[in-house]
Amino acid sequence: MHDDPGIVMRAALLAQVSDLVQGHKPASVVIALDQPSPTQAALSVVLRAHHLCSHLGLVMFVATPNAHVRRLLAVGADTRDIGLVIHARTDTAIATATARTTAA
């Protein structure tokens, strides 16, 4: 996610993410938050996408260099089903997701 979706585009972005998840399952999902300080709208999309992935039994990985955002995501993640895996670097998140998909 390169740009902040804002409140207006949040639903449209979540619909796009949902379509991608549905079309590529059972592959793991990776979202990279490239903004230095993502907004609440961006975090909301990530957490809602995680809820969807968790419901579908898919592991979701998030990468963000911002430690505060990583903590917020960890606190807000849906812990009832499948946890959210959070990394500081995008390449690490992708490598971990790829390894998990290959091992499955």
pLDDT, tens digit, for every residue of 30-50? 999 987 788 888 898 899 999
Burial-class residue 98 by CB neighbours within 10 Å (0-12, 13-18, 19+).
middle
Query: For residue 30, what is the DSSP state?
Result: E
Residue-wise burial string across 44-64, b where 16 or more C-beta atoms lie within 10 A, e elsewhere: bbbbbbbbbbbebebbbbbbb
Cα–Cα distance measured from residue 102 to residue 104, given in angstroms and rounded to the nearest whole number: 6
- Taking the model in full, what pTM does it have? 0.84
Cα–Cα distance measured from residue 101 to residue 78, given in angstroms and rounded to the nearest whole number: 21
pLDDT, tens digit, for every residue of 15-33? 888 898 888 888 889 999 9
